[in-house]
Structure 1
Amino acid sequence: MTLTKIIGLTGPTGAGKSVIAGVFADMGAKIIDCDRLARKATESPACISALCGAFGSDIVMNGVLNRQKLADRAFRSPASTARLNQITHPAILRELERRIMCYKESGAAAIVIDAPLLFEGGVERYCDVTVAVVAAPETRKKRIMNRDAITARQAELRMSVQKDNAYYAGLCTYAIDTGGSEPENKEKAARLYVRIMNEG
Structure 2
Amino acid sequence: MKVIAITGGIASGKSFVTNEIREAGYKVIDADLVARQVVEPGTHTLEEIKAAFGNQIVKNGVLDRKALGEKVFANPALLKQLTSITGPEIESSIQDSLSFFRMKGEEIVFCAIPLYYEQNYDQTGWFDEVIVVVSDERVQLDRLMARDGLEEWAAQTRIKSQMPAAEKQAKADVVFENNGTEEELTKQVQAYLQNLKEN
In structure 2, give the amino acid aligned to 1:89.
G
1:11 pairs with 2:12:
no
Counterparts of 2:106 and 2:147, CA distance in 1: 31
Partner of 1:70: 68
Q: Deviations over 1:97-122 (max 9, x none)?
A: 12112222333332111001112323
Is the CA contact 1:28–1:109 (under 8 Å) kept in the aligned structure 2?
Answer: no
CA-CA distance at 1:126 after TM superposition? 1.4
Residue 126 of structure 1: SS of its match in structure 2? Answer: coil
Partner of 2:53: 55
Which runs of 5 or more residues in structure 2 are unaligned? none
Partner of 1:33: 30
Which runs of 5 or more residues in structure 1 are unaligned? none
Counterparts of 1:175 and 1:82, CA distance in 2: 28
Is the CA contact 1:32–1:114 (under 8 Å) kept in the aligned structure 2?
Answer: yes
Counterparts of 2:25 and 2:109, CA distance in 1: 9
**Two-structure CA RMSD over aligned residues (Å):** 1.8
CA-CA distance at 1:90 after TM superposition? 1.1
Counterparts of 2:120 and 2:161, CA distance in 1: 18
Partner of 1:167: 167
CA-CA distance at 1:24 after TM superposition? 1.7
CA-CA distance at 1:195 after TM superposition? 2.7
Counterparts of 1:107 and 1:194, CA distance in 2: 21
* One of 88, 91, 98 as aligned partner of 2:89: 91
In structure 2, give the amino acid aligned to 1:24.
I
What does residue range 51-200 of structure 1 map to in structure 2 within 5 Å? Answer: 51-124=49-122, 125-199=125-199
Residue 67 of structure 2: SS of its match in structure 1? Answer: helix
Q: Which runs of 4+ in 1 moved over 6 A?
A: none
Is the CA contact 1:5–1:197 (under 8 Å) kept in the aligned structure 2?
Answer: no
Is the CA contact 2:115–2:162 (under 8 Å) kept in the aligned structure 1?
Answer: no
Is the CA contact 2:117–2:163 (under 8 Å) kept in the aligned structure 1?
Answer: no
Residue 132 of structure 2: SS of its match in structure 1? Answer: strand
CA-CA distance at 1:194 after TM superposition? 2.7
Q: Deviations over 1:122-151 (max 9, x none)?
A: 323211100111101111122222322333
Residue 111 of structure 1: SS of its match in structure 2? Answer: strand
Stretch deviating more after TM superposition (117-126 or 174-183): 117-126
Counterparts of 1:47 and 1:19, CA distance in 2: 28
Is the CA contact 1:13–1:144 (under 8 Å) kept in the aligned structure 2?
Answer: yes
TM-score by length of 1: 0.89
Inter-CA distance 90–84: structure 2 relative to 1 (3 Å threshold): same
CA-CA distance at 1:197 after TM superposition? 4.4
Stretch deviating more after TM superposition (178-187 or 139-148): 139-148
Counterparts of 1:158 and 1:181, CA distance in 2: 23
